[in-house]
């Protein structure tokens, strides 16, 4: 487990982004944990989140020209990541889409920099992959080239096949799809902290049933 991963998990637990209990997923599964990136809802935690994403992007070595965030959760993400990347001497434009195209004012579907070159897609988590599919369609339609997908968590859970949703996206579009943490990281963190015994047991049981090989 790299040094950044425990720090991110600790921050996520502190901000109640990562919660333990009983939660129903979009797939109708009863999950022992829930991850809600929207709970990074103040300036300091959003700043820290941007730093984690930026470090992952820099460490990936992927060449890119701009960031794209799908509405709505992707909007604050691309903003804070663009700011964090400046600390890595990288000044990158960003944009995001509207849910509905605007026909007055500046008009159009895209807010921010015009889409061009190699574009990184930033999101919170990949579930069914719907948001990523729409993002790639928007990028292609505006003359850009999808260069990769970055999310906060890979649940490492079976999607429509025996592989995870994030793997399905990567395979379908032949682009890298990377996450700050994954379910395995969460389990490793819980194993190293004695007061999470019940949570660890529940998540290990869940992974055995729904996790990828």
Question: Is 88 marked active-site?
Answer: no
Question: Is 104 marked active-site?
Answer: yes
Q: Say which of 14, 102, 172, 205 is annotated catalytic.
A: 102
Q: Which two tokens stand for residue 4?
A: 């950044």
* Contact between residue 95 and residue 70 where contact means Cβ atoms under 8 Å apart: no
Q: Say which of 99, 104, 195, 208 is annotated catalytic.
A: 104
Q: Which two tokens stand for residue 55?
A: 């470090």
Strands (E), the chain: 18-24, 30-35, 66-69, 94-102, 108-112, 118-122, 145-154, 177-182
Q: Which two tokens stand for residue 181?
A: 């943490």
Backbone dihedral angles phi then psi of residue 110, each to the nearest 5 degrees = -105, 135
Active site residues: 102, 104
């Amino acid at each position: 487990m790299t040094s950044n991963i425990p720090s991110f998990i600790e921050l996520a637990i502190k901000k109640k982004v990562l919660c333990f209990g009983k939660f129903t997923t979009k797939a109708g599964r009863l999950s022992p944990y829930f991850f809600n990136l929207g709970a990074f809802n103040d300036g300091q935690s959003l700043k820290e989140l941007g730093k984690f994403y930026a470090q992952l992007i820099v460490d990936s070595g992927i060449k890119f020209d701009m960031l794209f965030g799908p509405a709505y959760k992707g909007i604050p993400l691309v903003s804070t990541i663009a700011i964090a990347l400046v600390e890595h001497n990288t000044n990158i434009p960003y944009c995001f889409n509207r849910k509905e195209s605007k026909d007055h004012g500046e008009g159009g579907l895209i807010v921010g920099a015009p889409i061009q070159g190699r574009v990184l897609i930033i999101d919170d988590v990949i579930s069914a992959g719907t948001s990523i599919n729409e993002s790639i369609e928007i990028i292609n339609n505006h003359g850009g080239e999808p260069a990769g997908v970055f999310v906060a968590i890979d649940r490492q859970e079976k999607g429509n096949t025996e592989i995870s949703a994030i793997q399905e996206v990567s395979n379908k579009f032949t682009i890298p799809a990377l996450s700050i943490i994954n379910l395995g990281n969460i389990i490793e963190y819980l194993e190293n902290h004695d007061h999470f015994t019940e949570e660890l047991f529940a998540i290990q049981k869940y992974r055995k049933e729904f996790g990828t090989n």
